[in-house]
Amino acid sequence: MTLPICVHRRRLIPVPRRWGRGQTFAEFAFIGLPLLMLVFATIGLGMAVYSYSFVCTAARDATRYAIVHGASSTSPATQADLTTLVRNEAQGIKASQLSVSASWTPDNKPGSVVAVSVTYNFQPLSILGGVTLPLTSSAKMVISR
């Protein structure tokens, strides 16, 4: 086995391999920690985008449900029905952190407007455990039947 050669004051000095091990660990510490932080930040951002996308879709779905289940329907939609619908659709997020509010203007008869708002309290993966981002989306549609 040959050792790497180091040039020092115009002399060739063999360098033992064991001295290079500490350098490898130090370089890994400088590169590994920021790389892991970047990976976890990417995962957290992906979870936030997914959660916001779900909130937007859930608001639209609940509004669509409400417009086809108006007063003239066999089963008119209520606030509890819309909340149950949204929480049953929740996949990969905490359903207990979802809140749904609905309002019918002036009532739930055909031709009236229904507005549904969905809010989710998103908690990102971080060392800041108390941080909560409220994600909100709303939708309005006219009741068809």
Block mean pLDDT (10 aa), the chain, length 145: 58 62 83 92 92 98 96 94 97 95 95 97 80 95 90
Runs of H (alpha helix) within 3-128: 18-68, 79-89
Residue 5 counted as domain residue = no
The pLDDT score that the predictor gives to residue 141 is: 97
Domain that holds residue 108: 15-142
In a domain, 95, yes or no: yes
Considering the domain boundaries, does residue 6 fall inside one? Answer: no
Please answer whether residues 75 and 109 qualify as being in contact, where contact means their C-beta atoms are separated by less than 8 angstroms.
no
Q: List, in sequence order, every residue forming a beta bridge with 135; answer none if it has no partner.
A: 120
The structural domain count of the chain equals 1
pLDDT at position 118 is: 98
Alpha-carbon gap, residue 131 to 122, rounded angstroms: 9
10 in a domain, yes or no?
A: no
Among residues 86, 99, 95, 97, the alpha carbon closest in space to that of 60 is found at: 86
Does the pTM surpass 0.85? The reply is: no
Packing angle, helices 79-89 and 18-68, rounded to 10:
150
Q: Which stretches of 68-132 are assigned E, i.e. beta strand?
A: 98-105, 113-122
What local confidence, expressed as pLDDT, does residue 3 receive? 57
pLDDT value of position 59: 98
Within a domain: residue 77?
yes
Q: Looking at the domain assignment, is residue 8 inside a domain?
A: no
The predicted pLDDT at position 130 comes to 80
